[in-house]
Structures are given as structure tokens and as C-alpha cells.
Amino acid sequence: MLENIRLSFQGVWSHKMRSFLTMLGIIIGIASIIAIVSTIKGTNEQIKQNLVGAGNNTIDIKLMENNYEYYPDNYNIPSSIPILDESLREELLAIPEVDNVSYYLHRNYSDSLYYQNTSYTNMQIYGVDRQYFDTCGFISTKGRTFVDQDFTDFRKVVVLDKDSASTIFPSEDPLGKTLEINGEPFTVIGVVDKASTFKPVINTLEDYYQYSGNQMTTIYIPYDSWPIIYCYDEIPNVVVRAVDTDSMSTAGQKAEDAINAFIGVSTDGTQVPSGDDLLTEDMALDAAASDMSSMDSGTSSQPYTYRGTDIMETARNLQELSASTNQQLIWIASISLLVGGIGVMNIMLVSVTERTQEIGLKKAIGARKSRILGQFLTEAAVLTSLGGLIGIIAGIILAEVISRISSTPVAISVPAIVGSVLFSVVIGIIFGLLPSIKAANLNPIDALRHE
């Protein structure tokens, strides 16, 4: 085998131009496939990063009312939904794909937020539990975050995010300052920011609307202090952190199912009665009347359900849309591999014709068919393997050029590189088989007489 490889390299080197032209189809095909696959992989990673962000792996699971997000500032608090408790948190943490869980309350716009007679309306206010900052990947950049006493003593303290701190206190230290929220004084104790920041790549107006959304500043107060502002308990939303990005869909779905089971809602959104919910005759009549009213109004008998935003599913849909077009390009690039394989077969037939006397001499001194067959198959495989290696280098360079010209991210795919080398070897063996069989079947006497 080693001798066959040595002879193959010697033959390639002795006919450099012919060998290069023979490999050209393989080089173009492999380079095209490497460049396309790398661009697809880079685009898919960009889509995932744009949607998921800086690797926080969090899934928001929100209370929905008739398929719309429930806003407690617009509707009454639903008495049919139990308050999420610690037993549910433990159940969620037991899910293998879930790393951490947090409950939170929020308003999209703060109610009467003032600092020194200046009103700030374009701010979100969150009531968060002890686990929220860790779950969502926040770190303290100034002051501190909430401690247990802030919750147990119902302290009126507030933590700002980086943007709200710079908006309210552009030229002064926010720590110790007092904000008025809905008529109640809250003391600023800290500022937080994401542990790893990420800004999506925006190339078009569609990307802007897809990835940016409404960027609002946020302030945080202790979960237990929420009723100080709004005077009643509310139904919280849940944020779940998955163990890794690829587990987000599974973690979100399992957590969603567990929360809905906890509040007694089945997967189809209908109420599931428990043993404690046995109805008296009058209650049954009232429930039936309520159900009929709901049917008349076109709503479900149980309009409330928790639903997670499956960001990874959205990412996959966008990736599939991007890849479906590029798959056609891969097939087109594969045609050049077919053409290159035919070129290899052609030049090997020429080589057999040129070396007919050499083949006859080898067979005359005892060389078997398998030896002749192996020699020409090895030569074909070496020829296409060299073309594959050159094609890989050209493909990486081409991918980088495409990235620079079109600002499209690329990610070199190692499996694609390995597969390209193996594929080029297979092409050499397949298209070199016919010339090799022809060489092995030559009659030694006729071969020696060949002019």
C-alpha cells in the first residue's frame, strides 16, 4: 500500500499540470460546499445568538388569558388561579433540563415614578424574588442586591438596571437616593447589569424589528413589597433557566406543563377539578351557567393558562428557512464533484492507455490482478484526496471572503471538512474503479505488443 501511494505521488508530480486540471472539478466542488456549509452554520449561530442573547438560556413562562398575555392592571385578579408556591419551585427544579427558577411580577409601565418632582413613565417595574438576579444572569455593579431581610421586613428598597440608573441619575450617584413609586418612598440600594452583554447583529430593517423590540429601562423591588404599591397579591410569572441553550425548548415545555398542572389546567386549556373542588348542586348550576355564558362569548371555560415563549423553536424555524435555500446551492455545488469525478475517470483511462506496456510487463513477471487494481485505485484516490485538501483550503478562504464582502458570519464546520476529504476519496475509488478494472484485465501479451 505504501509503495502504491509513493508511486501515485510520483505520477502526480511528473504530470503536474494535467493532475491539477484533473483535480480542478474536485477542488471547486469541495470549496463550494465548505463555503456554503460554513455560511449556513454561521448564519444559524447568528440567528440563535440574536434570539437567545448572551447565553442566559432563560425562558419566560407567562400567564395568558384567552391566548393574550394577562395584565393585572387592566383586569381583576383571577380567583381560580392559585398563587405559585415553593412546592412548585421544587418540582420545577427537579426537571433535569432546568437549572434555576424564579417568580416575578411586573408592570410594563411604572405607576407614578418620581425623583425630585421629575416623572419617569417609560420604565418597567419588576417585583422579583431572591433567585431572580441569579436566574437571569445579573450581577451587581454598584451597591448590593436584595437580601433576606428586604423580603421578610417588607423593606421599601429598589435596585436599578444600568439604563434606568443612567436615565434617572445621569450625573450623580444613585445609591441612597429616594424614588417615589405610586406615592411610596423607595430607597435605591444598588445597580445591576447583565453578567455578559450581547447586542444582536442588525443588517436590515426586518432584523431590527425581529430582534430589537421595545428596549425599556427597568427597576426592581422585592417581591414581598409589591402589595405596598398595588395593595393586593397578584399571580406571578415564571422565568426558568435551562442548563444549556439546546435544552431550552425541553426545559420550557416541561416547566410549562408542570405549572399548568399545578393550577389545574390541562394541555387543552380546560379546568381540571381536584378532590377539593366537589360542587354542590347550586354551585354546579352556577358553573354550568358560567360555562354556557363562556360558550356564548366564544371563550374557553378556563381562559387562564401558563405559556412559555419557545425562543429556540423560533430560532429553528428561521434557521430552516435560511438553510432550505442553501441546500439547493449545496446540490448545485455537488454537480461539480460529479464532473470532477468524470474527469478523474477520463484521465485514469488515459493513464492506463499510456502505461499499457508497463502493466503488461508487471503481469508478465507475476503481478496479480489485485495488485494492478490496487495500484490504479490508489492513484485515483490520492489524486482526488489532494484535490479535496486543496478544495478545503480554498473553501475556508472563500468563506472568509464572502464574510468580509457580505458581512455574513461564517463558522467553519469540522464535520464538513472531514466529510469532504472522505467524500473525495470515495469519488476517486468509484470513478477510478472502471480504469483500474480495465488495467487489471489486460492480457500481458497484448499489453507488451501495444504501441
Residues 7 and 80 in one domain: no
Q: How far apart are CA 416 and CA 424, in angstroms?
A: 12
CB under 8 Å to 164, separation ≥6 — which residues? 123, 217, 218, 219
Q: Is residue 114 part of a domain?
A: yes
The helix (run of H) or strand (run of E) holding residue 141 is strand 138-143
- Does residue 292 belong to any structural domain of this protein? no
Band of pLDDT at residue 319, cut at 50, 70 and 90: low
Tell which of 186, 221, 242 closes a domain: 242
pLDDT digits (tens, 9 = 90+) for 351-361: 777 666 676 77
Hey, how many other C-beta atoms are within 10 angstroms of the C-beta on 84? 20
For every residue of 241-287, DSSP letters joined together read EESSGGGHHHHHHHHHHHHHHHTTB-TTS-B---GGGPPPHHHHHHH
Which domain-ending residue is among 180, 207, 242?
Answer: 242
Q: Residues 215, 154: one domain?
A: yes
Which amino acid type is present at position 414?
V
pLDDT classification of 235: cutoffs 50, 70, 90: confident
Gap between the Cα atoms of 338 and 347, Å rounded: 14
* pLDDT score recorded for residue 404: 81
Q: pTM of the prediction?
A: 0.57
Distance between CA atoms of residues 284 and 276, nearest Å: 14
Stretch 312-328: mean pLDDT? 60
Domain that holds residue 424: 2-51+316-449
As a 3-state breakdown, the chain gives helix, strand, coil percent values, each rounded to 5, of 55, 15, 25
Q: CB neighbours of 441 closer than 8 A, spacing ≥ 6?
A: 369
Confirm whether 154 is domain-assigned.
Answer: yes
Is 276 among the domain residues? no
Q: Is residue 9 part of a domain?
A: yes
Q: What is the mean pLDDT of the chain?
A: 75
Q: Are residues 226 and 89 in the same domain?
A: yes
What are 304's strand-pairing partners?
Answer: 65
Q: Tell whether 433 is covered by a domain.
A: yes
Number of domains in the chain: 2
Confidence category of residue 33, pLDDT binned at 50, 70, 90: confident
Q: Tell me whether residue 81 is in a domain.
A: yes
Pick the closest to residue 373 from 447, 446, 439 (CA basis): 439
C-alpha cell at 143: 451597591
Query: Residue 411's CB: how many other CB atoms inside 10 A?
Result: 17
**Same domain flag for 213 and 121:** yes
Q: Are residues 34 and 63 in the same domain?
A: no
User: Helix (H, G, I), strand (E, B), or coil: what is residue 410?
Assistant: coil
Same domain? For 146 and 221 the reply is yes
Confidence of residue 197 (pLDDT cuts 50, 70, 90): low
- Residue 332 sits in the same domain as residue 417: yes
pLDDT tens for each residue of 66-105: 877 887 754 566 777 888 889 999 999 999 989 999 999 9
Lowest model confidence (mean pLDDT) among 44-48, 69-73, 276-280: 276-280
- Banded pLDDT at 205 (limits 50, 70, 90): very low
Domain co-membership, 45 together with 185: no
* pLDDT for residue 103: 93
Question: Does 293 score more than 50 pLDDT?
Answer: no
Q: Which pLDDT value is given to residue 102? A: 93
| Residue 124 lies inside a defined structural domain of this protein | yes
pLDDT, mean of residues 142-164: 93
Closest CA to 382 of 347, 354, 357, 406: 347
pLDDT band with cut points at 50, 70 and 90 for residue 299: very low
Q: Which residue has cell 473525495?
A: 424
pLDDT digits (tens, 9 = 90+) for 399-447: 888 778 876 677 777 777 777 777 777 777 777 777 777 777 766 665 5
Say yes or no: 42 and 62 in one domain. no
Q: CA geometry: angle at 190 spanning 185 and 194, to 5°?
A: 130
Instruction: Answer yes or no: do 65 and 43 share one domain.
Output: no
| Residues 358 and 436 placed together within one structural domain of the fold | yes
Shared-domain flag, residues 133 and 168: yes
Q: Which one is predicted more confidently, 286 or 312?
A: 312
Q: Is the pLDDT of residue 174 over 50?
A: yes
The domain boundary, picked from 213, 242, 271, lies at 242
- How far is it, in rounded angstroms, from Cα 228 to Cα 349? 89
